[in-house]
Amino acid sequence: AAASSANAAREPDGPGEPLASDPPVPPLDAPGMRVLHFASLAPNGHNTQPWSVVVHDARHWTIRSVASRRLPAVDPHDRELTLSIGAFTENLVLAAAAEGLEAECAVIEPSAGTNDVLEVHLHEATPRSESLAPLALRRTVRKGHEDREFPQAVVSRLCEPLERRFVYVPRATSQARRLAEWTLEANRQQTWRDDAQRELGAWIRFDDRAAREARDGLSTASMEITGIAGWYVRHFMTPEDALTDSFRARTVASVAELVQQGA
């Protein structure tokens, strides 16, 4: 999570660029640093990490979206960006609770000239005992899911607290088959769009050095490309490869396998 002062001089220039700040960033205590660490592990589109945090003081922050980390080709209406910042905020709230802090988050109405999204105030509270380990274990890929359907008890536990806003579609139904077909077709259309592929290639960290320096984007490790395949990607592939027919065909074939997995 990038932190800046309340008078941030500019946004990041692009992927991997830190925020410039003047005057210096106000100090964060250890609980605040841990909260932001777990918040920064939130899932987000292409791992662009499209958020920044303005630190007013140790218990008062503002969350901003970062325009240079948008995905205009695949997310022109900022839907995924909004979901990403929502996931960041959810992690922040959970991590704060584990630190004995209640995170009070207020939406900031959009206005010209600002990317401020949320105002966060942290208040002392009774620490919760839930482990934050699952946040650190989050996978970024959608493969290897079990094919067995959820038991009815699990479905009820998921759906009832959300007042029917969560709908479970069992994998063996005609609705699930249609969802799989539509998902595959949507991915096929996107994969054969040059603008989407250029954008994807720009956020893939093909070699270890790029992954270390940028600390964002899609690395071979985060995509779970291991063994000889991972070695080949790190040593021989470049962003331009995302535009080749073979890269696109492999992407579509991978999605065809993925849509057959899961409950």
Are the C-beta atoms of residues 2 and 14 closer than 8 Å to each other? no
Q: Strand, coil or helix: what is 108?
A: coil
The predicted structure's pLDDT at residue 83:
96
Distance of alpha carbon 253 from alpha carbon 188, whole angstroms: 9
Q: What 3 state SS string does 159-181 have? A: HHHHCCCCCCCCCCCHHHHHHHH
The predicted structure's pLDDT at residue 237:
96
Q: Is the pLDDT of residue 5 over 50?
A: no
Bridge partner list, 101 = 124
Cis peptide, bond prior to residue 26, ω within 30 of zero? no
Q: Strand, coil or helix: what is 145?
A: coil
pLDDT, one tens digit per residue, over 230-257 is 999 999 999 999 999 999 999 999 999 9
Q: Is the pLDDT of residue 143 over 90?
A: no
pLDDT, one tens digit per residue, over 20-79 is 555 566 688 999 999 999 999 999 999 999 999 999 999 999 999 999 999 999 999 999
Structure tokens at 211: 């992954």
Q: Which is nearest to 66 in space by CA: 112, 17, 105, 33?
A: 17
End-to-end CA distance of the chain: 33
Maximum mean pLDDT: which of 19-28, 136-145, 188-197: 188-197
Distance of alpha carbon 180 from alpha carbon 184, whole angstroms: 6
- CB-based burial, 95-107: b 16+ in 10 Å, e otherwise: bbbbbebebebee
Q: What is the mean pLDDT of residues 83-107?
A: 96
pLDDT, one tens digit per residue, over 155-173 is 888 887 777 677 889 999 9
The predicted structure's pLDDT at residue 49:
97
The predicted structure's pLDDT at residue 164:
65
- pTM tops 0.85, yes or no: no
The predicted structure's pLDDT at residue 156:
86
